Structure 1
Amino acid sequence: MKLLSASCLFINALLVILLIFIVIAQAGRDFYKILGVSKSANINQIKKAYRKLAKELHPDKNKGDEEATRKFQDLGAAYEVLSDAEKRKTYDRYGEEGLKDSMGGGSDPFSSFFGGDFNFFDFGGGGGRREERETPKGADVVMDLFVSLEELYSGNFVELVRNKVVYRPASGTRKCNCRQEMVTRQLGPGRFQMMQQQVCDECPNVKLSNEEKTLEVEIEPGMEDGQEQRFVAEGEPHVDGEPGDLRLRIRTMPHTVFERRGDDLYTNVTISLVDALVGFQMNITHLDGHQVHISRDKITWPGARMRKTGEGMPNYENNNLHGILYITFDVEFPKGEALDEEKRAQIRQIFDLEATKALAYNGLRGY
């Protein structure tokens, strides 16, 4: 009777602790709800949801709106946690309060009651943990995906036809999951010998066949060379395990007008000598088709550079931020016969070349 009473007290204590655990896990903000994603969302879905909401709630777009500012802060906190594998694991177990108590690790609330790691689902004999055998996995397939600068600026969806080898069921059985295990063999009365031998399971037979599948690849705005899009289980198969992954590595194709360096864009513009002297106005067609207006009323020398803030590439983490567009000017000089003396005199008079003639020289400046 005493033993039964003790067991009841132990179970009641477990229920109380479980209730505490549930309350802790439910405390704080619901980061999945804030981002508008399910708890099974992968990292790409989380990033996509964050970028979409960040554009809508950014303070620059909602000046003076305290509610939008608060939501933007919650959005940043949600993304910081759910985009980090360790923090997300802790949040899923203990909620936001668990992150505050033990950032990056998450202490088990049951350990304080039982003095260590308590696995209350393991009531088997011995109290030890069983070692799970690691599932073998096929090799990853890494491919370069060449995309245009326009796609990296605006984003795009690309369809990719994947032809891969897969294992299909076949008749008969085969040896699988072979491993080395220690076995005990009796040699005689009271005599035993431990030895290592290979142990295999019996599995259904398989055969190789080709499979064609269409994959949709999202080119996200601001992605850079070397970034990867991962497709789980689309790599090489493994006869006794899971297929590897397909990793598509972004490669930027050369562009005829713009060159990318980080989030900044660079381009060259050639103007006439007249425009270089008297000033000009012009438009440059950007990667998404919008016009970038350029005007200058001063003299423009060959190699002069102009900065257009906010006209570079979108930042991958926050598409509301853009880099700088750098425009370097080249001056095209007229080709033809030499000027007559009268025109030469006019040019000298306009630019007062006689006054600066002494400063025109080759070599380094003297002191």
Structure 2
Amino acid sequence: MASQVAWLVIATQLLLLLLQVLGGRDFYKILGVPKSATTNQIKKAYRKLAKELHPDKNTDDPDAESRFQDLGAAYGVLSDADKRKIYDRHGEEGLQKGDTHGDPFSSFFGDFSFGFGGFGGRDQEVPRGGDVIMELEVSLEELYNGNFVEVIRYKPVAKPAKGTRKCNCRTEMVTHQLGPGRFQMTQQQVCDDCPNVAFVPEEKLLEIEIEPGMRDGQEYPFVAEGEPHIDGEPGDLRFIIKQAKHPKFERRGDDLYTNVTISLQDALGGFEMDITHLDNHKVHVVRDKITWPGARMRKAGEGMPNYENNNVKGALFITFDIEFPKGTISDEDKEALAKILKQDHKTRVYNGLQGY
């Protein structure tokens, strides 16, 4: 009878945990990715759906706003490693409760040992090779438009070799009998005999997707493409995005900055011009009033695409410099300018820092 009650309690606990995991929205279904999806696959799926489901493009759909919010919530959880672990174990309800416990089954059974030499033990940590970190210089055009870059990687690959080697070495507790009813436990290193291997470099072509809106310093990982470990798993290969200096534009976050030099005549009389952008489209600039040195114009939506949502773009800030004419001006021209400008000859002296 007691055993039946115990199993009933266990079954009830498992059912509650199952209902908890199944509760809430299915974030994987919302993003259209499998549960084994990598972070890069999740980001690609989000960017694609964000363009399709954006409310601005679905004005006739009354559910567009809620679907777009569900998409953002799914991405916010699955793109975060810690939140994703909680979601996989406890569902959305676990996230709402701030549940950060481990595996529900392991937390239920704890470290209780059933005495059969397997349930209560912990797996030994798998040894891992070193990570390889490399810088990848990309242009601002690539970060704006996106691109695919091919990199050749010479990776050490294990090949069979002659002889054997010591492997899977571990420390085990060994019991020695010292006499009747007397025992002593000591640690002893135990190794297996494995076939010998040799690492041979092999050429491998890696394709790196430079996605629109990527930022300087951002990482692009290749799992298990790092240094191998003879008895374990290889490390990762991580590329660090390095933005090359651009001759015309400076990037600050998702905003772009540039300078334009105009003549004194255009500064006083107004002008109209086009600026060639990073994808070769033209940004039209019109000034019909006086432009002073250092004046700045803001063009909304002409900056960099946002990495998380390419539908959103920063601004382009244009600072104007004035090119003054060289040479001298005749007395007649000076008089004409004075009549046009109608400015007095009063001068002001100040420190230039606090104004006046």
* TM-score by shorter chain over 0.5: yes
- Alignment partner of 2:281 out of 268, 286, 290: 290
Q: 2:219 aligns to what?
A: 228
Q: 1:103 aligns to what?
A: 98
Q: 1:265 aligns to what?
A: 256
Q: Is it true that 1:304 corresponds to 2:295 in the alignment?
A: yes
Q: 2:270 aligns to what?
A: 279
Q: Which amino acid aligns with 1:332?
A: E
Kept after mapping to 2: 8 A contact 1:86/1:104:
no
Q: Quote the Cα distance in structure 2 between the aligned partners of 1:233 and 1:169.
A: 20
SS, match of residue 126 in structure 2: coil
SS, match of residue 344 in structure 1: helix
Q: Quote the Cα distance in structure 1 between the aligned partners of 2:229 and 2:338.
A: 81
Q: Percent identity?
A: 65
| 1:86 Cα offset (Å) | 2.7
Alignment of 1:1-367 (within 5 A): 7=3, 10-11=6-7, 14-15=10-11, 17-63=13-59, 65-100=61-96, 102-105=97-100, 117-118=108-109, 124-125=115-116, 129-336=120-327, 338-353=328-343, 356-358=344-346, 360-364=347-351
Kept after mapping to 2: 8 A contact 1:94/1:106:
no
Q: For residues 200-254 of structure 1, what are the alpha-carbon distances to aligned partners after superposition, in whole Å with 9 as ceiling and x for unaligned?
A: 1222211110111111111122111111011111111111111111010010001
Q: Quote the Cα distance in structure 2 between the aligned partners of 1:200 and 1:120.
A: 27
Structure 1 gaps, min length 5: none
SS, match of residue 184 in structure 1: strand
| 1:39 Cα offset (Å) | 0.7
Provide the alpha-carbon RMSD of the alignment: 2.7
Q: Which amino acid aligns with 2:58?
A: N
Structure 2 gaps, min length 5: none
Kept after mapping to 1: 8 A contact 2:111/2:120:
no
TM-score normalised to structure 2 length? 0.90
| 1:286 Cα offset (Å) | 0.8
Kept after mapping to 2: 8 A contact 1:87/1:103:
no
SS, match of residue 328 in structure 1: strand
Q: For residues 120-168 of structure 1, what are the alpha-carbon distances to aligned partners after superposition, in whole Å with 9 as ceiling and x for unaligned?
A: 9975548962121101111101000000001111222211111121222
Q: Which amino acid aligns with 1:35?
A: L
| 1:309 Cα offset (Å) | 1.5
SS, match of residue 175 in structure 2: strand
Q: Quote the Cα distance in structure 1 between the aligned partners of 2:120 and 2:63.
A: 49
Q: Quote the Cα distance in structure 1 between the aligned partners of 2:50 and 2:26.
A: 17
Of 145-154 and 306-315, deviating more is 306-315
Of 206-215 and 17-26, deviating more is 17-26
SS, match of residue 56 in structure 2: coil
Q: Which amino acid aligns with 1:345?
A: E
Q: Quote the Cα distance in structure 2 between the aligned partners of 1:130 and 1:279.
A: 80
SS, match of residue 57 in structure 2: coil
Q: Quote the Cα distance in structure 2 between the aligned partners of 1:25 and 1:213.
A: 40
Q: Quote the Cα distance in structure 2 between the aligned partners of 1:19 and 1:192.
A: 45
Q: Which amino acid aligns with 1:227?
A: Q
Shift in CA distance, 139/199, structure 1 to aligned 2, threshold 3 Å? same
SS, match of residue 60 in structure 1: helix
TM-score normalised to structure 1 length? 0.87
